[in-house]
Amino acid sequence: MSVQVVDHPLVRHHLTQLRRQETVPAEFRRHVRQLASLLAYEATQDLKERPLRIETPLTSMTGSTVASHIGLVPILRAGLGMVEPILDLLPNAQVWHLGVYRDEATARPVPYYSKLPPGRPVDVALVLDPMLATGGSATSAIEALQAWGVPEVKLLAIIAAQPGIDAVVRSFPGTTIHVCAIDAELNDRKFIVPGLGDAGDRTFNTLESFD
């Protein structure tokens, strides 16, 4: 297992704006899209390729095309904001949704939706969730994907807390985690600190007070 932090000025810029309390939902979604693209760029550097013979306006040449069958797996609902920019990069990727919510009383994940198909799974699954807090939703998703038979699973999170990383490492040491930042702790409500609040509420403009 490895944790890859995308260390780049553009990441820090967009992440700072994402964290700001004053950032309105439309701008929040825009920054999520930018960061999702940068995460996906890093997470897909080792995709398999195959040669492709093409004609340019001037001559023939051999280029390459992605050979891996890729699945994007957003965890509902906050992960939905990361799908479109990654589909722009990987337009042939499959998209499969997993619904997992956190029981506020116990902070444990509760799966409620899965439509992973029978038959041949994708070669690589990218689990999309802006926040890796306790790790409950992520481990539930990875467990479902491994049961489906996916040989390689990568987790893409904009912000991760160390407890969430530790939980994924304990359960799935072969999973690579790609993040924009690692925050040190969770508060008593299991929100990442300093974090950015609830990514789903801020994305879909259903925000309540976090005081």
Q: Active-site residue numbers?
A: 102, 106, 198, 201
Beta bridge partners, 99, equal 76, 113
**DSSP code of 190?**
S
Which helix (H) or strand (E) segment holds residue 74: the answer is strand 70-76
Q: What are the tokens at 61?
A: 């040449």
Provide the b/e sequence for 81-116 (b: ≥16 CB within 10 Å). Answer: bbbebbeeebeebeebbbbbbeeeeeeebeeeebeb
